[in-house]
């Protein structure tokens, strides 16, 4: 938040940052930190890389367990767990996307992980479900977990799998980070090496392209979402209002694992024909790769970091909205409307039910809405950090209560991706876990009855509250955490 509002930052205090952090390198250090926090009733936070939108790794006066240095990587040519027998990796909780993808290339295999280079794959990413450029083929990252090693709230070091502490295993696979324990390592499936073809292009208004033509081209693209995910594709694209009735969207990239250039060209030929009919002069760029790592590294450069004036939210739009023309019209109008109103969109045409690869997802705590999704859409609002607080609050509230409500209205009963969600998502239990929440909450009480682990919008977080609010409705991590 802007320093004018977050007083702790204005006065050069720690604010929401932890008072102490343990840069753990082994299990014993984690056990000691958890036991200390539990005994002294200290607020405990767990941080890997801190990519979560929900401030889960911050907290005033807290003790932080930093898992970043748990970097072990071990490859198994054949690993057996339950009915699975095949290649696998055992990975420390601190292993990041660029590290596991490099290892997978080295061993001639592929793994399901995030698109961001620095995301800690075995931390909050996989515990929260984890969507991936390979999800339309293989499902969520949490679906690939074979076992985990975890330190629980009572300081015990356990293995969680389908056969050892299976209820804890169920909860850890999608129940969220910083909730049930501190995961120290994860064993995940490895898949055969896969070739990838990527496609990039730009749609934009100009002196010869009107806003209506731009939106007609976007709609032509939207119309094919089920077809594309059924083929195992993943499209990562942005939509931006440039002001003055001008709009821009870049496909960056269309990611087609298992497809040759010729196959992808044939699949998108009808789409480009529609672009031409609309009057859009689109120049596509195709690149073939013989492995996932190289396609991923070229397509997803290191993202910028820093502090800016922004709030973000997201929605998982279901396949059913594409199977009914009236619903699709309403969905597209809701997307277009918020962009015309100033919203900035980062979106993914993605399915996470394994339909593209013919796999069946396991039963775990992953949000059921993911199994019905064909678009994960992130919406952002910006403001002038030096502007009046009233203007900042208006922009913040508009995101949650106006723009996002339009999206909820056209996708009733769907949900949102917890790790990339609105900080004050209404009815977050339903939005992030759907029908899985009751079981997830019950297991939270079993495995952490004292509430050692708290995470903003995590399972069981409704039993707690921050003592102060920012802008009247944003829980301030720079305040006391209190039981209700």
CATH code at 345?
3.40.462.20
pLDDT of the residue at 202: 98
In a domain, 1, yes or no: no
Question: Are 108 and 32 contained in the same domain?
Answer: no
Tell me which residue of 189, 93, 111 sits closest to 145, measured CA to CA: 189
Residue 2: inside a domain: no
Residue 239 lies in a domain: yes
- Residue range(s) defining the domain that contains residue 367: 196-427
pLDDT of the residue at 305: 66
Query: Do 220 and 86 lie in a common domain?
Result: no
Q: Which residue has the tokens 């390198």?
A: 25
Whole-structure pTM over 0.85, yes or no?
yes
Are 131 and 52 contained in the same domain? no
Q: What is the model's pLDDT at position 332?
A: 98
pLDDT at res. 293: 98
Q: What pLDDT is recorded for position 463?
A: 97
Residues 209 and 323 grouped into a single domain: yes
pLDDT, position 4: 59
Q: What is the CATH number of the domain that holds 80?
A: 3.30.465.10
Q: What is the mean pLDDT of each run of 10 residues along the chain (484 residues)?
A: 56 82 98 98 94 90 96 97 96 97 98 94 95 96 98 98 97 96 98 98 97 98 97 97 97 97 98 98 97 97 72 97 98 98 97 82 97 97 88 96 98 96 97 98 97 96 95 94 94
């Amino acid at each position: 938040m802007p320093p004018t509002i977050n007083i702790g930052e204005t006065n050069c205090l720690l604010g929401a940052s932890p008072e102490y952090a343990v840069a753990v390198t082994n299990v014993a250090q984690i056990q000691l930190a958890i036991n200390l926090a539990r005994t002294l009733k200290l607020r405990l936070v767990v941080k890997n890389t801190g990519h979560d939108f929900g401030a889960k790794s911050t907290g005033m006066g807290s003790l932080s367990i930093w898992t970043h240095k748990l970097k072990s990587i071990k490859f198994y040519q054949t690993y057996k767990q339950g009915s699975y027998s095949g290649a696998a990796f055992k990975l420390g909780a601190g292993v990041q996307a660029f590290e596991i993808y490099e290892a997978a290339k080295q061993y001639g295999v592929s793994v399901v992980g995030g698109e961001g280079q620095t995301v800690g794959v075995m931390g909050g990413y996989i515990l929260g479900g984890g969507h991936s450029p390979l999800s339309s083929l293989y499902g969520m990252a949490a679906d690939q977990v074979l076992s985990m090693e975890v330190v629980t709230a009572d300081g015990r070091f356990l293995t969680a799998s389908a056969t050892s502490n299976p209820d804890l295993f169920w909860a850890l696979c999608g129940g969220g980070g910083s909730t049930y324990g501190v995961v120290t390592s994860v064993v995940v499936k490895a898949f055969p090496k896969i070739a990838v073809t990527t496609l990039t292009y730009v749609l934009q208004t100009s002196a010869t392209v009107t806003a209506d033509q731009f939106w007609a081209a976007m709609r032509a693209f939207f119309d094919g979402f089920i077809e594309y995910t059924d083929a195992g594709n993943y499209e990562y694209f942005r939509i931006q209002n440039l002001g003055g009735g001008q709009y821009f969207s870049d496909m960056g990239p269309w990611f087609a694992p298992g497809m040759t250039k010729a196959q992808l060209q044939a699949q998108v030929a009808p789409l480009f024909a529609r672009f031409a009919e609309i009057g859009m002069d689109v120049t596509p760029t195709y690149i073939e790769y013989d492995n996932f790592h190289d396609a991923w590294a070229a397509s997803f450069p290191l993202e910028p970091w820093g502090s800016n004036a922004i709030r973000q939210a997201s929605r998982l739009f279901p396949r059913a909205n594409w199977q009914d023309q009236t619903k699709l019209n309403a969905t597209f109008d809701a997307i277009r409307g918020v962009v015309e109103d100033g919203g900035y969109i980062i979106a993914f045409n993605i399915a996470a039910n394994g339909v593209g690869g013919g796999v069946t997802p396991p039963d775990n705590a992953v949000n059921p809405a993911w199994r019905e999704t064909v678009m994960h859409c992130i919406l952002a609002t910006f403001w002038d950090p030096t502007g009046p607080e009233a203007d900042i609050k208006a922009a913040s509230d508009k995101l949650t209560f106006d723009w996002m409500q339009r999206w909820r209205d056209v996708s009733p009963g769907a949900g949102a991706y917890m790790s990339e969600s609105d900080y004050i998502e209404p009815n977050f239990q339903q939005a992030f876990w759907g029908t899985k929440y009751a079981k997830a909450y019950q297991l939270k009480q079993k495995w952490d009855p004292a509430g050692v682990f708290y995470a903003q919008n995590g399972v069981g977080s409704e039993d707690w509250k921050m003592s102060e609010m920012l802008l009247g409705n944003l829980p301030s991590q720079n305040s006391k955490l209190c039981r209700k």
